[in-house]
Structure formats: C-alpha cells, structure tokens
Structure 1
Amino acid sequence: MRQIILDTETTGLEPENGHRIIEIGGYEIEQRRPTGRRFHEYLNPDRSVDPEAVEVHGITDQDLMDKPRFADIAARFIDFVTDAELIIHNAPFDVGFLDSEFSRLGAQWGQLADYCRVTDSLALARRRHPGQRNSLDALCRRYAIDNSGRSLHGALLDAEILAEVYLAMTGGQVTLHLGARDNEGPAQPVAGDQAVSADRPRLPVIEPTAEEAAAHAAWLEQLDRDSDGACVWRSLTGEARA
C-alpha cells in the first residue's frame, strides 16, 4: 500500500479570493515504512503573501521570487501522487488549494481526486479522540512524538511529523526507523536481527476454530471501518472483505 503524507503552505486562507500554494511537501510510506521518496517544492505564487500567513510559516515574498510556478512542477507532482492514498491533516483545505491550482492550468488537468485517493487524518483523529484537541501539535503530545523542530509551519517537516502521528493513530507504531529504506538500496536490517537456522525444529501450526476465525474476521471489519478501509493486515495477507 503506497501512501503519501502531504502538506501545503499558502499565501492565505481562501483560494476563492486568489490565494495560492507556495510550498508542497510530500513524504512517501509503503506498507507502513518510509521509502525515502519525498516531493518538496517552494512556489512563486505571482502575488504577495498575507502578513498573517508569514507569521505562521515564515515564508516571505522575497523567499519566493526565484522559485518555479505551480505549472512548472504540476506534471512531476501528478507522477508522485498518482494511484497513491494521500494522508492530509484537514484535507479539504489542501485539496481545495490543489484543485484551484489545477483549474488555473485548464480543465484538461482535472482535479486531485482524478489521480489519487485522499484520507483526512483530522477526521480520523476526531473519531479516535472525540471532544479533544486534534491539531498536529496536540496529537504529537498525545502520542509522545517529538516536534521540537516545529517553531514554524513547513510543508515537508509537517508531512514527516504527520507520518509519525498517522502511524501511531492507526497501528501503534511511533517510529519510522525500523528497516527504513532510502533511494540507494533495499531496506536495511533492524539492529539485533539474527539468521534462523534451517535445521531448527518446525513450529507447530495451530488452526483457529470456526468461532476464532469469525472473531478474527469481525475484528478486521472493525479495523477497516476505523481506518477508512486501510486495514494493512488484509493488504499483506490477501484476505477478502466480508
């Protein structure tokens, strides 16, 4: 399962009022492990950045003068997200801005949903923790994830932090360093891994009873509902949904 944790920074809050994307950060994970692939661009929005927005992310007009425009990176962005599941915190905000950017390029570019599936991690957090604060900072505190480097918002940094939060929310994994891969080779073994002798006694296989199998299937159905269909067990074992 290929997933991309995505975040954007913008000139302001409303694309309908001409606000634009000025930074995109994407962080890829597959089967709940980082692949080492990232997408990161600062963009020239051809307009000024609102002072209130600069206070949030620290990106100024001067910073963006020599950066590419969305049209320059749109094809590469589409290649990066196509057929993936995008995990976005408060997804309607980012999707609205991305769809606005595609619309500026012409109807032939379609909309984000034409290329990938989107999951809103904020909606997921609200289901997991109803009545509680579910901002990215609040979730970091809840799941003991270090976000000390986040004095200002930044698209790639926020995407990397959200990846840890999402893994913690959906499976209890709070680190991205087990068997992490980079672009130069396959996954590295976890410290302490040892080869198992081929001469070892075979382990007994205990088949589940009908009741245990039914309880297992019911639990997977619950996981599917809680994770919006992202039950990793089924993707790994090929078990069919009921």
Structure 2
Amino acid sequence: MDRVVVIDTETTGLSPTEGGHRVINIAAVEIVDGVITGKVFHAFINPEGKKSHSKAFKVHKLTDEFLSKQPTFSEIAKPLLEFISGAKLSFYARHFDMPFIQSELDRSGIDVVLSRDFESSCLMVDFANRENNGRYVKLDSACIRYGIDISQRKVHGAAIDAELTAHLYV
C-alpha cells in the first residue's frame, strides 16, 4: 500500500525564524494507492499572541480574535502526527511549509524531525521541472494547467490548498 499525505499550512508571516511567525491553519489529505480517500486532518491554531502580518492576513483572512480561541499547536500535534504516521509527505511548497511545521514541533518539545523521519516531495519543484522549464508557478496556475477546478478557492486556506494539491498529486 502506497500512502501519501498532502499537507498545507497558513501562517502569520513568511518565516518561522525571522520574526518568529507561527502556523495558524494546517490541513492534511490522505491518498492511498493513488486515490484520495476522503480522510482529512484539519485544524485552526492559536499562534499564542503572535499577530498575523498584514500581508499574511490579506492572503488567509483569519482574524487574531478567531485564532485566539483555537487550540495551540501543542494541543493538535499528537492527532496530526498520528494522522501522518507511516506516510510519505507531499507539499506544494515544501520549502515553506516544512520549516514552519518543524518549528512548531520544536517549540512544542516534540522529538520528530520531518526531514529525518519522513520521506517527502515538493509538487511545486516537480511541476517546474516537468512542465515549466524549471520555473516555479503558483498553485492556482498548476491546477489550471491540469484542469483542476479552483472556483471554491476564494482565499488561501490550508484545507482547500491541501485538497487542490492532492488532486495535482494524483
């Protein structure tokens, strides 16, 4: 059985190290033997006082007030890790999402190193190398190229972005 979990995040800013930005929304979509199973992990996350940068807010539209009422990453980490256990991980933008998730795991004191403990792939890089002469394209553009309907994507959200990425994967 080939099990892949596609993951996407939304964050308070562009870097977990410069500015200490945090994950505020995470979703994971399961694919088994090339079929999207319908099993999904999704959570909004309290960034524990870290405010979203204005540019990040324009992307995800998640208010600080809404996020302050959500569980912390530490509280959702165990169910997330159970969901992804034993799977190959796939991201549209691994270079962005993976460091953010790793930073949250580290902050939570969880001894998991994604790059060590999981095989992973980056669809943005795969698409660029295969279809676009090595040039990166946004998720919307890749979906349009493959005829994937993006009409439900009004703003960036981890759930819709992970679902679209899963459709690209299969």
Per the normalisation by structure 2, the TM-score is 0.92
Check if 1:144 corresponds to 2:147: yes
Do the aligned partners of 1:82 and 1:115 also contact (CA within 8 Å) in 2?
no
Matched residue, 1:6: 7
User: Where do 5+ consecutive residues of structure 2 fail to align?
Assistant: none
AA at the equivalent of 2:26: I
Residue 146 of structure 1 deviates from its aligned partner by 0.5
Matched residue, 1:160: 163
Residue 110 of structure 1 deviates from its aligned partner by 2.7
Please tell me whether Structure 1 or Structure 2 has the larger radius of gyration of its CA atoms: 1
Residue 114 of structure 1 deviates from its aligned partner by 4.1
Do the aligned partners of 1:83 and 1:115 also contact (CA within 8 Å) in 2?
no
Q: Percent identity?
A: 37
Matched residue, 1:21: 23
Residue 113 of structure 1 deviates from its aligned partner by 2.8
- Give 3-state SS (helix, strand or coil) of 1:15's partner: coil
Residue 132 of structure 1 deviates from its aligned partner by 5.0
Matched residue, 1:55: 58
Highest relative contact order (Cα 8 Å, sep 6+), 1 or 2?
Answer: 2
- Give 3-state SS (helix, strand or coil) of 1:149's partner: coil
RMSD: 1.3
Q: Which has the higher strand share?
A: 2
CA distance in 1, matches of 2:52, 2:137: 27
Runs of 4+ in 1 over 3 A off after TM superposition: none
Residue 112 of structure 1 deviates from its aligned partner by 1.7
- Give 3-state SS (helix, strand or coil) of 2:137's partner: coil
Aligned residues: 166
Matched residue, 1:80: 83
- Give 3-state SS (helix, strand or coil) of 1:53's partner: helix
User: Where do 5+ consecutive residues of structure 1 fail to align?
Assistant: 168-242
